[in-house]
Amino acid sequence: MLYKVSVTFHRDYIEVTGDRIEIGVVSRPRKGEANAEIIRKIAKYFKVPKSSVSLVSGGKSTSKIIHVAEPSDENKI
């Protein structure tokens, strides 16, 4: 499923409403540290492996599109 993600820095939280995720990260937005934290938090929230979460767009933006593969999606590969 695709989610629209809004990122806030210097806060630690995650809120999911429908197809939207608001997430706070404490990592710095350099060298992919913040994106790695976002993927880690989303994977933990949905209880899926990090490999099931991918950044579709917005790598250098506070607005991102993230894909979370559901277990049934991974079995089709």
Average pLDDT of the segment spanning 4-32: 95
pLDDT of the residue at 75: 52
Both tokens of residue 66?
């993230």
Burial class (CB in 10 A: 0-12, 13-18, 19+), 63: exposed
pLDDT of the residue at 73: 53
pLDDT tens sequence across 21-58: 999 999 988 899 999 999 999 999 999 999 999 999 99
pLDDT of the residue at 28: 85
pLDDT tens sequence across 56-67: 999 999 999 999
CB neighbours of 19 closer than 8 A, spacing ≥ 6?
Answer: 1, 2, 3, 4
pLDDT of the residue at 29: 86
Query: Could you confirm whether domain 2-75 is CATH 3.30.1330.10?
Result: no
